[in-house]
Structure 1
Amino acid sequence: MNWIEAEFAALRYFALNGTDHRSHAEQNSAIAGYVRWHNIRAQPKVNFATDSPIRTWTDYPAKAA
């Protein structure tokens, strides 16, 4: 799973699952509340793909095309 899929899974779990919003405005409010809560606590992504050989490259290959 990539990062964006994880973010949307968390949004769905915390703001949408098990809910029965009476209107789109109520649903939008729940989503906006989660996004605000998440953004306040956001941290940079670190240790992403730690085993990837790309992370060890010091000079990138020239563009082939």
Structure 2
Amino acid sequence: MLDNFSPHKHPNVRAWAAANEVELVFLPTYGSWLNWIESEFAALRYFALNGTDHRSHDEQNTAIGAYIRWHNARAEPKTNFAPDSRIRTWTQYTAKAA
């Protein structure tokens, strides 16, 4: 999943994606909340950083590492992102090699 940052649409990127069977899915403008990684970052901020006063980067890194280990121990794979979603038809996500 990609935002609409112009390098993501470069012909070389599209050609590489097509050659490597990678599907480029572009999010709508102001739709970053649709990207799964954004929710992961939000949870990390909420559980490891908000309301804290870490005295050093090492202390902050320890808190982040502890959250990531806790989260990964309970994680389940995310697969098959909305194969029938209308967003796939109106965002023209398919890569066309030049």
CA distance in 1, matches of 2:75, 2:69: 10
Question: In structure 2, what is the equivalent of residue 12 of structure 1?
Answer: 45
Query: TM-score if structure 2 supplies the norm length?
Result: 0.51
Question: Equivalent pairs: percent with the same residue?
Answer: 76
User: Where does the alignment leave 5 or more consecutive residues of structure 1 unmatched?
Assistant: 55-60
Q: Does structure 1 residue 3 correspond to structure 2 residue 43?
A: no
Unaligned runs of 5+ in 2: 1-32, 89-93
Q: Tell me the number of residue pairs that the alignment of Structure 1 and Structure 2 aligns.
A: 58
How far 1:48 sits from its partner (Å)?
2.8
Map of 1:26 onto structure 2: 59
With the length of structure 1 as denominator, give the TM-score of the two structures: 0.74
Over 6 Å off, 4+ runs = none
Q: What do you get for the CA RMSD once the two structures are aligned?
A: 2.1
Please tell me whether Structure 1 or Structure 2 has the larger radius of gyration of its CA atoms: 1
